[in-house]
Amino acid sequence: MTATDTSSGSAAPQQDLIYGLDDRPAPLPALFAALQHVLASFVGVITPTLIVGSALGLGAYVPYLVSMALFVSGLGTFVQAKRIGPIGSGLLCLQGTSFGFLSAILSAGFIVKARGGSPEEILATLFGVSFCAAFVEIAFSQCINKLRRVITPVVTGTIICLMGLSLIKVAMTDIAGGYGAPDLGALPNLALAGLVIGIIVLLNRFPWPVLRLSAVIVALSVGYAVALAMGKVDLSGLAELPLVSVPQPFRFGFAFDWMAFIPIAVIFLITPLETAGDLTANSMISRQPVRGPLYMRRIKSGILADGCASATAAVFNSLPMTTFSQNNGVIQLTGVASRHVGFYIAGLLILLGLFPVVGGVLQAMPKPVLGGATLIMFGTVAIAGIKILAEAGLHRRNMLIVSISLGLGLGVAGVPEVLSAMPDVLKNIFGSPITIGAFSAILLNLFLPREPSEADVFDPEELIEDAVGTNTLSVNIPDYREHDGHRRDAMPQPAGVDFKG
């Protein structure tokens, strides 16, 4: 991609768009384009729920939770595309469950579980805390350009590294067979995971973007089919599921816990920067301005929609949401940037969410199959953090911030006994690698003097452009930065492992 008009801040892709942002495609091509968006994002929408349900032992509730994840993804996608008042970017953006919250969500769930909480109490706390924490992002959306000295690339990159690295254990446990599996580490389990990883790698060798975009869902489908042939899939519970899932606000109740709230609130300070990157990439692909008042309004409104979608998700019993990046690749692939396609995407997701059999089939997916895919996803998160840190510059000051913060975060994850002498309140708060790593990075970033080369050279508006480089789980975003007065634009081709959130 090359910028054709850097003075206006707009960029045109190499290929012409078949349908622009405000064009109205006929129903059939709109539905076909919407299906491609849903297929590219489906695994990303439902996987966090499957991981949380498995790790916290939520059992029979998982099909309902998967249904609600799809349902609220549809609602959020509609709002982003439609723009209701000040809420929504007005772009073709797909909302989905965020991977970025997984570590904090699991920590919160284990806090409740450790004191004997039932699955219902765990869910009540998770959704109650997530609902309250979502207002952190709602507030952040209105002042994102004023916090650049606090949430800098070195802070963001460190936290994102911790997100990915702290979740590798979850993926490896699934590869071995899952928590408490009687055949933990058995060769068939490792073979299934290896099959999934191999297919993802193989499909990413092909030059066709459609194969790379669908690599994960193809690998999971093949792995599922092989596991079914091996007798490792139990579908006996499907007959007991209701025909339709009825969304019930706070079905499991509402509970709040400060120790669970803080780590989740910290992540809500990071995801807006990811969303800013996605919205900038989406604007560029859709031939919309990436500077000026309209652009800034879209960024703020899009992040506000993210926060509102997360609050809505908590009300309807689902995990926090974020704007996905997969659909940016689909827009490039199809040449369809019409926001009206977003209404079709929303309708498909809501329709899928009304049928719990979808969640039941996915819940039956063997853990090694899921673990093979999530290992790559979580590794991608960590690598994205490293990329941000490399772009920020690993000089003496930044190396000190990163080394201390990563050391503390991974240290308490590996040796939780180090906090055994602390009061329970502090133990539970700083026992989260995300929390202790984030606090360390933020405080050190504020305390340590900046190098002369780090003096601010961007105006406040360029904070959002710089945030493109902090998009955590996406590899198909533009690197849109200004160095020494020269602007460079690059839009890599879509990749198969393109999970956000």
pLDDT band at 452 (very low <50, low <70, confident <90, very high): low
Buried b (16+ CB within 10 A) or exposed e, 455-479: eeeeeeebbbbbbbbbbbbbbbbbb
Low-confidence winner among 99-103, 342-346, 444-448 (lowest mean pLDDT): 99-103
pLDDT band at 317 (very low <50, low <70, confident <90, very high): very high
Give the tens place of pLDDT for each residue, 350-401. 999 998 888 888 878 888 998 898 888 888 878 878 888 888 888 889 999 9
Residue 180 burial (10 A CB sphere; 0-12, 13-18, 19+):
exposed
Buried b (16+ CB within 10 A) or exposed e, 2-33: ebeeeeebbbebeeebebebeeebeeeebeeb
- The three-state DSSP-derived secondary structure of 29-43 is HHHHHHHHHHHHHHH
Question: From CA 159, how far away is CA 327, in angstroms rounded?
Answer: 25
Q: What pLDDT is attached to residue 304?
A: 95
Residue 432 has pLDDT above 60, yes or no: yes
How far lies 415's CA from each of 61, 122, 368, 386, 412, in Å?
Answer: 32, 24, 26, 23, 5
Q: What is the DSSP letter of 478?
A: -
Q: What pLDDT is attached to residue 293?
A: 86
Going by C-beta distance under 8 Å and a sequence separation of 6 or more, which residues neighbour residue 26?
Answer: none
What is the bridge-based pairing of β-strands 2-5 and 486-488?
unpaired
Give the tens place of pLDDT for each residue, 202-257. 988 888 777 777 788 889 999 999 999 998 888 887 888 888 888 999 999 999 98
Task: Give me the long-range contacts of 141-144 (CB less than 8 A, separation at least 24).
Answer: 141/272, 141/300, 141/301, 141/303, 141/304, 141/306, 141/307, 142/300, 142/304, 144/272, 144/273, 144/276, 144/299, 144/300, 144/303, 144/463, 144/464
pTM above 0.85, yes or no: no
Number of residues written out for the chain = 501
Backbone torsions φ then ψ of 96, nearest 5 degrees? -155, 170
Q: Looking at the DSSP assignment, which residues form a beta bridge with residue 311?
A: none
Question: From CA 381, how far away is CA 38, in angstroms rounded?
Answer: 22
Q: Please name which of 369, 434, 423 lies closest in space to residue 160, comparing C-alpha atoms.
A: 434
Which residue matches tokens 């609600």?
68
Give the tens place of pLDDT for each residue, 167-177. 888 889 989 98
Structure tokens at 16: 């012409």
Question: From CA 501, how far away is CA 482, in angstroms rounded?
Answer: 26
